Amino acid sequence: MATRISSPRAAKRATRKPRQSRSRVTVGAILDAAIVVMKKHGVGGITTNRVADAAGVSVGSLYQYFPDKQAIYHALHERHVEAVDRMIASAAKDASSLNELVAQLVDRLIAMHVAEPHLHELLQSTLVGGTDSAHAPLQSLLREHLAAHVDPARLDVVSFIAAQMLESLTHAAAARFSRTTGKHDVREVARAMTAYLHSAISAGP
């Protein structure tokens, strides 16, 4: 059974924060190695010894940055949330309409999930609540774009459902990506999202 921690905040933090570029490279290698180990041995097979070996560092060096594997999971979660935040900010800047925003988010989220197909499984297995905190910036962005069009009494639940749909559908599409061209998946997910959002808008403010 995979070890789960109660929340990202409850996890042990890194023992030492990487301040120099070489330290940041080492930390990045350790985090990437955790995914490599998970691919080979499964979530239950992740150990600090295996992660250190895959990263090409000593276990002692790993412990300088992470007291245990839960701290590694926490750092992976933080890195994922930061990447999602950057992607959302970029999509919001490039989009000029709700439809375009949805299309940008769908395309970029599927690309992220395709690039790191095992990360979601690892975080879901080791963090109680999984990647829920990554949904928060999506929900906030959608709420902002819907605020002028959706009844305030429904705004929170509509933006919450939309964010959950977006994450769930893009993960499902990413899982299919290697078996399809991917183009139809992106279009259909975007179509489903815009249909839901426009239905919510048509209900009136």
**Per-residue pLDDT in tens (0 to 9) along the chain, 205 residues:** 444 444 444 445 555 666 667 889 999 999 999 999 998 998 889 999 999 999 999 999 999 999 999 999 989 988 888 888 899 999 988 888 999 999 999 999 888 888 887 787 787 777 655 555 667 888 999 999 999 899 999 999 999 999 999 988 988 888 776 555 556 678 899 999 999 999 999 876 5
Model confidence, pTM:
0.75
d(CA 54, CA 46): 11
Question: 86: which 2 tokens?
Answer: 């950057």
Q: Tell which residue, 58, 11, 8, 54, has the closest CA to residue 35.
A: 54
Residues in the chain: 205
CA dist 205 and 182 (Å) reads 36
In order of their start, the domains of the chain are: 21-67 (1.10.10.60), 80-202 (1.10.357)
